[in-house]
Amino acid sequence: MAGISYSTTTSAGGSGQAGAPVISSAEMEKMQQKQYEHIRQQIQVLARYAGMDLREGVRLAEDEQAKAAKMQTKLDKISAEFGDEFIDGAQPLFDTRKARRFDSSWNWVRQEAYELIQQAIAGCAAGSTNAPACVDEAALQRLKNRSSPGLLQMLAGSLSILQAANDDSLEPVIRLVSELHDSCTRSLTQPPVYRELSAPTAPQVDIGSDGTVAYSEVPRIDESSFVDFVEHMRQPDVQDMPPFIHLKKQSAGSAWSYCAELSTMYYEGLSEISGSGLSFAGKTALVTGCGRDSIGADIVCGLLSGGAKVIATTSSYSRKTTLFFEDMYRTHGARGSELIVVPFNQGSTGDIKELVDYIYRDLGVAKGLGWDLDYVFPFAAVSDIGSFATSL
């Protein structure tokens, strides 16, 4: 038409993009890299202008890595020389935030007194006429050691309730509560004491027909109490000879010889413990290595019974351990006594310094105890061969 001709388009070229330019991925990455490099150069220029060191963090990290490598080399040498047990055994454990304090003897004595009264009432209900049988000498001593105005008020109230019941079957319980009230009243003005009231035993080894060995502790013959045990022990086997167990003293430039004065003092102390009792009221003590079934644990019990304030250390600090010490205080803690339990590793010099600082640090300066120790019992301590107690 009118001399104009039209070309026919195909479906392949209908989009109009057949001749569009194409950039390879390599060229794209090269272009992006140039942009990143340009940005980095701009950042460096701005940092120099602002006086900033962009490599400061990198240099610090490199320094720390070098220090860590040097320290690791030193630890490897120590481990190779002494073994891993030495390193593990010197790890610090002490932490004042984990210190557990037990000092509520006034509360536990009320609970024990209430339980004893209820046991006596239950015994009377079962037909028993001997209510005091449920209160042995040890239980009575525990109540007397923890006597307080609150306990006396509780016993007086219990006595009034029992008397108001007007029940003849409760007469043994009434007598028991009245005796407890009188004993605790007399003890209120006296310091708590530690008395050894357990029955002494003797070791016994039995060998069966099959060769098995069985060890047991049996009651001692003619020694029903520690008073009898101490009295028999202080008697010499042969007249004009020292007792089998005695103390010796070393004179200047001479050998050790029997000392009657020290031996008498030793046995008088044992007699006092098993007789009238020994008071630790107003005293403070440190006991280390006092785990379950240990000598240290028994010493802590005795100190608490006598009214002492005790700090006990443990290397196995856990809920189970703290419950063990809580039960110990609940049973033996006397009026004015206190038990503090802290984690501690005697193999750590840092722990030793921190423990000493915690004990003697003044309360007004920081969270310390402000104590001045009267007794130290370092159980589970490192052995010191060749030294005598007299040279400490």
Is residue 32 over pLDDT 60? yes
Q: How far apart are CA 233 and CA 247, in angstroms?
A: 13
Determine the distance from the C-alpha atom of residue 299 to the mean position of all C-alpha atoms in its chain, rounded to a whole number: 14
Q: Which of 75, 183, 70, 172 is nearest to 126 (CA)?
A: 172
Q: Do 263 and 289 fall into the same domain?
A: no
The residue among 149, 153, 118 whose CA lies nearest residue 135 is: 118
The pLDDT of 53-81, averaged and rounded, is 85
Q: Which among 336, 235, 226 is positioned nearest to 276, based on CA atoms?
A: 226
Contact 303, 339 (CB under 8 A): no
Same domain, 347 and 365: yes
Helix (H/G/I), strand (E/B), else coil: 309: strand
- Is residue 59 in some structural domain? no
* pLDDT 10s digits, 120-147: 888 887 776 666 666 788 999 999 999 9
The answer on 210 and 182 residing in a single domain is no
Query: Are 361 and 304 members of one domain?
Result: yes
Helix (H, G, I), strand (E, B) or coil at 198: coil
| Domain CATH number, residue 378 | 3.40.50.720
Measured between alpha carbons, how far apart are the two ends of the chain, in Å? 130
In this structure, the answer to whether residues 291 and 242 fall within a common structural domain is: no
Residue 264 shares a structural domain with residue 303? no
Q: Which two tokens stand for residue 206?
A: 């039995």
Total structural domains within the chain = 3
> Can you give the pLDDT at residue 59?
83
The reply to whether 316 falls in a domain is yes
Question: Is the separation of the CB atoms in 247 and 263 below 8 Å?
Answer: yes
**Closest by CA position to 281, among listed 312, 259, 310:** 310
Judge if 350 and 320 occupy the same domain.
Answer: yes
Check whether residue 237 and residue 299 sit in a common domain: no
Q: Is residue 370 part of a domain?
A: yes
For residues 250 and 312, membership in a common domain is answered with: no
* 377-390 pLDDT tens trace: 998 766 666 666 66
Q: Model confidence at 25, in pLDDT bands (50, 70, 90)?
A: confident
- Please give the Cα distance from 192 to 112 (Å, whole number): 17
Residue 240 sits in which domain range? 196-275
Specify the pLDDT at position 387: 67
pLDDT digits (tens, 9 = 90+) for 235-254: 887 888 889 899 998 877 77
State which amino acid sits at residue 285: A
Whole-number percent of the chain with pLDDT over 70: 89
Residue 39 lies in a domain: no
Residue 267: left if φ>0, alpha if ψ -120 to 50, beta else—which one? alpha
Is 38 part of any domain?
no
Q: Pick from 258, 380, 373, 367: which is nearest to 313 by CA?
A: 380
Residues in the chain: 392
Is the predicted pLDDT of residue 22 greater than 60, yes or no? yes
Please state the pTM of the whole predicted model: 0.75
